[in-house]
Amino acid sequence: MSRFDRYSLPLSTSSDLAAERYRAGVDLLLSLWPGTAQMLDEAIAADPDFALAYAARARFHAIRAELAEARVKIAMAQELVARRGTERERSHVEVLAFVINGDAAKARAGALAHTDKWPRDIVIMSLLLGAFGLLAFSGMADHDQARVDLCERNAKHFEVDDWWFMTYRGWSHGENGNIKLGRSLTERALELRRHNVNAVHAVAHVLYEAGAGDDAEAVINGWLPEYDRSGVLHNHIAWHAALIALERGNTDRALALYNENVAPPVATGVPINVVSDTSSFLWRMQAYGHVVPEGLWEDAAKYASGYFKQAGFPFADVHMAIIAAATGDKAALDQRVDALATLVDAGNLPAGPVVPAICRATLAFAEEDYVQCAAILEPVAHEAVRIGGSGAQREIVEDTLLVSLLRCGEAGKARALLDERLHRRPSPRDSHWLNQIATV
C-alpha cells in the first residue's frame, strides 16, 4: 500500500522508500519549500528507474529556470516511463515534457485532458493554476474564470481541508472577484500548512484585491522570516510588502524593502519574477510622483539584458518594455514592438494586439507624451488581462492610464476609471487619486 502518492494513485516503483521520498518531495514542490531537490534526489537514488521522480525533479528545475537540467531529467523520465509506467504516468510525463520543451498549447490541452481523467494528479493540475500557470499565460481574456471553473469542476475529488487544493481554489476565486471566499480558503490553507509559500502568496494576492493592506502586511511580516532567502519566491513575497508601503506613500519603507529583498543585486528569485518585480515597483514609484534613486533603473536594465531577448512572451514583453522605456532604450523597445506586431499579424500571439500597444504606451509615458499614452491605452486597457500574471501585477497598466489621464487634463475620464476601480478594489491611494482629480 505504500507505493502510492498522497492521493492513492499507484506509483511504478519497486521501492517503498522511493515512494515515500516522492510523496514528501511533491508536497515540498507544490509548497515551494526548501528541501525539494534533496527529497526528490533521494527518491531517484532509492529507485533509479522511477520515472515520476525524474519528472518531478524536472519540474522543479523548470520552476528555477534551470532549463538544460530540466530537459535532461524529463528526457530520462520519458525513456523510463515508456518501459515501466501506467497510462496515467505516461500522460503525466508527456504533459510535463510539453511544458519543459516550451509547447504551451499542447501542454495546456494535455493538462486539461489529463486532469479530466485523473483529477487527483495534482502535479499536472497545478500546471494550469496560479498567476503564471498555463491558463493565465494562455492569452485568454477569461482565464481568471477558467481557473475557477477548473477548481469547482474538480472540488468533489478533494477533502474539505486539502491544503494544496484549498490554496489554489481560494486564489482562483480571489483573482476572479469573490474576495470573501478567496480569503477564507487561502487563510485556512496557510493554517493547515504554514510552510507553504504558495499559500502565503495566495493570501497576499487576495488581501491585495480586498484592499486589506494592514492585514497583508501583518501576514507577510509574521511569515517571511521563516522562509529562507534562497527560496524561489522570497523576493516576490517581499515585493508585496514593498507595494503595500508604496501605496500608503511610505516611500522610505518601500525602498528599504526593495533594496533589501527585491533589487537585482540581492534577489534570489527566477528571472521572470526579478524582471517583473523590479520594473513594476520602480515604474509605480515614478508614476506616483516619487524620484527613483540613481542607479536602480540601471541595475534593473543590466539584469534584464540577459533574459527574454526574443519577443512573444507577453508578460515578460510588457515588463521588458517598461525597463527599456524608463532607461531611454528606444531602439530595443521599437525592436520588441515590431517583433510583437509581426507575431500578431501572423496570428502567432494569442494575447493579441494589446501586447504591442502596452509596450508602445510605456514609451509615450516615459517621454511624457501623456496624451499619446492615454490614446493608446484607453481602447485596450480592458484587454490587459490577456498578458497573464495576477491582478496586482497587471494593475500597473491601469495606473499608467490613470496618471496619463490626470497629466493631460482629462479629469472626467480619470474619475470614471477610478470609480470603476473603487468598486473593484479599494486602495490606500484612493484619497490621493481623488485629490489629484479635484485639482485637474
Does one domain contain both 122 and 143? no
Can you give the CATH number for the domain in which 100 is found? Answer: 1.25.40.10
CB 336 within 8 A of CB 319: no
In a domain, 287, yes or no: no
Residue with cell 530537459: 71
In a domain, 421, yes or no: yes
Question: What amino acid occupies position 320?
Answer: M
What does the pLDDT read at residue 229? 92
CB 390 within 8 A of CB 205: yes
Cα gap 275→309, rounded to integer Å: 12
DSSP character for 130? S
Does one domain contain both 104 and 123? yes
Asked whether the CA dihedral 186, 188, 192, 194 is positive or negative, the reply is positive
Q: How many residues does the chain have?
A: 440
| Residues β-bridged to residue 72 | none
Does one domain contain both 356 and 410? yes
Does one domain contain both 333 and 417? yes
Backbone angles phi, psi at 353, to 5 degrees: -70, -10
DSSP character for 267? -
Question: What amino acid occupies position 424?
Answer: R
Residue with cell 494575447: 351
Does one domain contain both 119 and 167? no
What does the pLDDT read at residue 328? 97
Mean pLDDT per block of 10 residues along the chain (440 residues) reads 87 97 98 97 98 98 97 98 97 98 97 98 98 98 98 97 98 97 98 98 96 95 94 96 94 97 95 98 96 97 97 98 98 98 98 98 98 98 97 95 95 91 81 84
In a domain, 361, yes or no: yes
Residue with cell 494562455: 138
Cα gap 112→5, rounded to integer Å: 20
Does one domain contain both 437 and 331? yes
Domain end (from 202, 226, 250): 226
In a domain, 244, yes or no: no
In a domain, 222, yes or no: yes
Q: Cell numbers at residue 215, please?
A: 492585514
Q: Following DSSP, what letter does each residue of 356-392 receive, concatenated?
A: HHHHHHHHHHHTT-HHHHHHHHTTTGGGGGGG-S-HH
Question: What amino acid occupies position 340?
Answer: L
Domain count, the chain: 3
CB 238 within 8 A of CB 261: yes
Domain end (from 189, 210, 226): 226
In a domain, 288, yes or no: no
pTM value > 0.85: yes
Nearest 5°: the CA angle 239, 243, 246 is 135
Can you give the CATH number for the domain in which 164 is found? Answer: 1.25.40
Rounded to 10 degrees, what is the CA torsion of 390, 421, 235, 104? 10
Does one domain contain both 318 and 438? yes
Domain encompassing residue 351 = 308-440
Does one domain contain both 118 and 216? no
Does one domain contain both 312 and 409? yes
Does one domain contain both 436 and 353? yes
Residue with cell 518501459: 83
Cα gap 204→200, rounded to integer Å: 6
What does the pLDDT read at residue 422? 83
In a domain, 117, yes or no: yes
SS3 10: strand
CA distances from 411 to 286, 402, 433, 436, 438 (A): 20, 10, 11, 9, 8
Cα gap 27→24, rounded to integer Å: 5
Domain end (from 174, 196, 226): 226
Which H/E stretch holds residue 402?
helix 391-407
Cα gap 353→375, rounded to integer Å: 15
Rounded to 10 degrees, what is the CA torsion of 404, 274, 251, 324? -40
In a domain, 241, yes or no: no
Cα gap 239→234, rounded to integer Å: 9
Does one domain contain both 59 and 180? no
What does the pLDDT read at residue 434? 85
Does one domain contain both 144 and 198? yes
